[in-house]
Amino acid sequence: LSHYRKVAKQVIDKVTFSGFISSQRIYLSDEMADLNANSQAIIEENMLQYYKFLADKGDRNSQIGLANLYLSGARGIEQNVFLAYHYYLTAATAGSGTALAFLGKMYLDGTPATPADPATAFQYFSKAADKGNTLGYSGLGHMYYTGRGTEQNFSKAFKYFNLAAEQGSPEGQVYLGTMYYHGWGVAQNLPAALKLFHLASQSGNVVAYYNLGQMHAMGLGVARSCSTAVEFYKNVAERGVWSTMLMDAYLAYQNGLYDQSVVQYLFMAELGYETAQTNAAYILDRGQLIYLSKNSINQRAFLLWKHSAEQGNGFSRVRVGDYHYYGIGTPVNYEEAAANYKTATELQRNPQAMFNLGYMHEKGIGIKQDLHLAKRFYDMALEVSSDAALPVTLALVKLTILFTLEKLQHGEWWRLEFMESTFGSFWDIYIITAIGALICALLHFRRQHR
């Protein structure tokens, strides 16, 4: 706990107003399978030129989007604060409240293009707030909160942070939570602070993670939990400047330098980076290395999947189950496979794990055969992911046939209760319709062969 807290504090000390650090966690499995709807994939050059074309034509969304990328240096684009300033200023001149707010942020934090100037930042935030912009509210609240560029006023700070938080701003939520935490400008309310920090953490705000770590470590507003605190501190610690190697490894992979990429990921994996553990295992799993034997690769991948799964990655937990099921890098163990699928189902609600459990219950592999439980898990997979519609539908059709055969074997096929439970209360209509369709098909067949 103390080690992670110490490193997390170093990271927090370098955080600027927004509470975000440009540390991207890109999973290769998501990139290849296109499973991540919010993928942080590298922007290709032709797409970048297209956005520039739209921006030059006056498209505000493109101007702000490009400015955001250049400001943070995200998605493979080299940071360029001068271009960021150019696009923000262009959009702000056209009346964009978002652009005005980001200009305020740049002047507040200070960049080579915008030397720190709290007074100018205050003006931009005020203009953005007048337009009802969320970041403008947060920025203005921050100015009153710190007394930079204006006189310190907790009442006004609370007002603007509250407006921002109501619109879902993670910055507003964090600062509002901080005011509740300390009782600044409002009566101290630790449960309210905890709730706001949790909301902000869902947007990736690193300050929120740190504050949650502090509250769980000291038992403030919540039951003391060192393990939970460590998780939050670890999340913060992994966003330090040293995490840039993750992006280097990703770029190497994108360029086909698999050996270089896996070495970098393995190094970060040894440091405990869950993303690196998952990606290193993924590269090994795909057999993209030639200097290791197949058995050695499988064993290394299995250990990496396990380490990642132990840190809460549902995809990795399913892969651990797969390795036990098929005997990859470890002896075949159906019971362990089922246990891992069950964990991924209960903790991460992973649809693949649910489907696999359904199949194992259907076949009685590693666990007791139970067609009813099999159907339950198939249905759960469909509820969680619409992508599972086809395999689940086929599995359910097969289960229906198995249910029918089972009842026929027990001589229950003639009972009315059986017909209603199997086909529903309108089973007779279904049968009549099916017979009618069969007659029509036969008549059509006869006409075709006259």
pLDDT digits (tens, 9 = 90+) for 197-219: 999 988 888 899 999 999 999 99
Comparison of pLDDT for 283 and 73, the residue scoring more = 283
The yes-or-no verdict on residue 19 having pLDDT over 70 is: no
pLDDT for residue 262? 92
The yes-or-no verdict on residue 424 having pLDDT over 80 is: no
pLDDT for residue 427? 55
pLDDT for residue 415? 54
Highest-confidence segment of 23-32, 69-78, 413-422: 69-78
Q: Identify the band that residue 39 occupies on the pLDDT scale cut at 50, 70 and 90.
A: very low
As a whole number of angstroms, the distance between CA 140 and CA 159 comes to 10
pLDDT for residue 4? 85
Instruction: Tally the C-alpha atoms within 13 A of residue 157's C-alpha that lie toward its C-beta.
Output: 25
Domain 243-409 in CATH 1.25.40.10? yes
As a whole number of angstroms, the distance between CA 335 and CA 344 comes to 14
pLDDT for residue 41? 54
Q: What is the pLDDT of residues 107-162, one digit of tens each?
A: 998 999 999 999 999 999 999 999 999 999 999 999 999 998 899 999 999 999 99
Average pLDDT score over residue span 25-42:
57
Percent of the chain with pLDDT over 70: 86
Q: Which pTM does this prediction carry? A: 0.65
| Burial tier of 447 (Cβ tally within 10 Å: 0-12, 13-18, 19+) | exposed
Sign of the torsion formed by the C-alpha atoms of 27, 33, 37 and 42: positive
Sign of the torsion formed by the C-alpha atoms of 220, 221, 223 and 225: negative
Q: Identify the band that residue 35 occupies on the pLDDT scale cut at 50, 70 and 90.
A: very low
What would the CATH number be for the domain defined by 1-14+168-239? 1.25.40.10
